[in-house]
Amino acid sequence: MSKPDRDTVRRAGEQRLQEWGVAPDASVEALRASIGRDPAADLAIAARLGSHPDAASLDVLQALDVATTDKLVRKEVRRSLYRLEQRGVTIPKAAPAAPVSLAPAPAIEGYLSAVDGRGDQLVWLVKPQPGALAHLFAVINDPEGLHEVELVETTRKMFRASRQELLSKHELRMIEADWRYCDYLIDRAFRWAAERGQSVRGDYPGLRAKLIKTPVTEMRPLIFAHLDAAAIRNEPRLLAESDTVLDEREFRTWFFDLETLKPYLEEAKRIKESPVLLNPAQQQERYAGLAARAVEEIVGGERRASWVRRLQEMAYFLHATGRAAQAKQVLAAALALDASTRGGRDIPLCEALARTSLVMFLTMEEEREQEEARRSLVVTPQQALREMQQRRTR
């Protein structure tokens, strides 16, 4: 069997970097943080560093040359060193007296849940220990921040069982994700909570230090390592059909909460009880205007960025669970919302979310009123007026 050639290995390495969320334009430090995990990725990193003519690239290439045992990687390092030299970077002729060594990246695993309707998400970090697993789990919220973090010792068997129990009992699936991204999400949520002055259950800095010694790496949403934003924007059909994703089971908790909808529900009640006689068409027109204003205000303003991030996370979750078409539709909605100056207006997913939320709570209120009416023998003026209007429209 022939050995893989340099180009084949490099393509495989680029694919691995993409899976880890390392963008094509990643910084030298981001590339340094990814060294030591996979020989093919190391070769791709060495090739990339040859296009960064600066001292930082030189340092990482020399360190990689010392750390690697792979012949193809070493050849790629020398090739990139030559490219740097041709572009004006001075290459020391002698090896450094104390060469920098690269320790293998910690064998950490990352897991993510879907984001629920409140913006809550589970994030796990798992690191093998002698005879056990160190399992750090966190509950984060966008935009509130980190709610809870805990570190426990478990076994691989118990870890698999707990993951299966979440799925079977609560339909909560934990998908594998780049641990560096999971680490970044938890750290960002911790900073958000601190900025808001909110307490966090658990000593996040202390618990993280037991698992990870390297600094947190800031990363883009993982979906952008799998889907091209420009291509998504160039397919208007994806945005137009984005409301269909609300049929996916992970979106069953996605609706605006009662407190957020309260002023709109009160206005809807005033429309319904208006002393001015409105025919059904006029009432529907007013309800439509109310829903349009709700989606513009609730999904816009200061909350818009949070909704964009939630949609990006859901796009990745759908993509990772084999639903590429739905992932594209959700990402199309996220991109449209990110560019919008009117909140969720003209974004079918957001507009459907507003409509269904309003209808749900209005229906609940109407059912409550009907139940109260059945228990009462007194007819209120509003009830009498509605009955008269119904008779006139028959």
268, 372: one domain = yes
Residue among 77, 73, 88, 74 nearest 49 (CA): 77
78, 193: one domain = no
CA distance 26 to 17: 10
Has residue 98 been placed in a domain?
A: no
> Residue 2 pLDDT more than 70?
no
301, 236: one domain = yes
pLDDT of residue 183: 97
249, 300: one domain = yes
Return the number of other C-beta atoms located less than 10 Å from residue 220's C-beta.
14
Q: How confident is the model at residue 374 (pLDDT cuts 50, 70, 90)?
A: low
pTM above 0.85, yes or no: no
pLDDT of residue 71: 87
Q: Which of 161, 190, 219 is the last residue of a domain?
A: 219
Q: Which of 152, 185, 219 is the last residue of a domain?
A: 219
pLDDT of residue 297: 94
Task: Calculate mean pLDDT across residues 380-394.
Answer: 55
Domain assignment of residue 283, given as a range: 230-393
Task: Calculate mean pLDDT across residues 113-128.
Answer: 96
Has residue 224 been placed in a domain?
A: no
215, 234: one domain = no
Q: How confident is the model at residue 98 (pLDDT cuts 50, 70, 90)?
A: very low
377, 235: one domain = yes
Among residues of the chain, what percentage have pLDDT more than 70? 87
Among residues of the chain, what percentage have pLDDT more than 90? 53
264, 375: one domain = yes
119, 63: one domain = no
Task: Calculate mean pLDDT across residues 281-288.
Answer: 79
Q: How confident is the model at residue 388 (pLDDT cuts 50, 70, 90)?
A: low
Q: Which of 184, 219, 254 is the last residue of a domain?
A: 219
Q: How confident is the model at residue 174 (pLDDT cuts 50, 70, 90)?
A: very high
pLDDT of residue 1: 46
Please say whether the beta carbons of 349 and 246 come within 8 A: yes
Return the number of other C-beta atoms located less than 10 Å from residue 33's C-beta.
18
Query: Mean of the per-residue pLDDT values for the chain?
Result: 86
> Residue 384 pLDDT more than 60?
no
Cα 178 → chain centroid? 12
382, 245: one domain = yes
Domain count, the chain: 3
Higher pLDDT, 173 or 64: 173
215, 304: one domain = no
> Residue 295 pLDDT more than 80?
yes
146, 185: one domain = yes
Has residue 161 been placed in a domain?
A: yes
Has residue 162 been placed in a domain?
A: yes
Q: DSSP per residue over 9-65, as a string?
A: HHHHHHHHHHHTT--TT--HHHHHHTTTS-HHHHHHHHHHHTT--SHHHHHHHHHHH
159, 306: one domain = no
Has residue 188 been placed in a domain?
A: yes
Has residue 94 been placed in a domain?
A: no
Has residue 261 been placed in a domain?
A: yes
Has residue 91 been placed in a domain?
A: no
pLDDT of residue 124: 97
pLDDT in tens, 132-169: 999 999 999 999 999 999 999 999 999 999 999 999 99
Task: Calculate mean pLDDT across residues 306-334.
Answer: 97
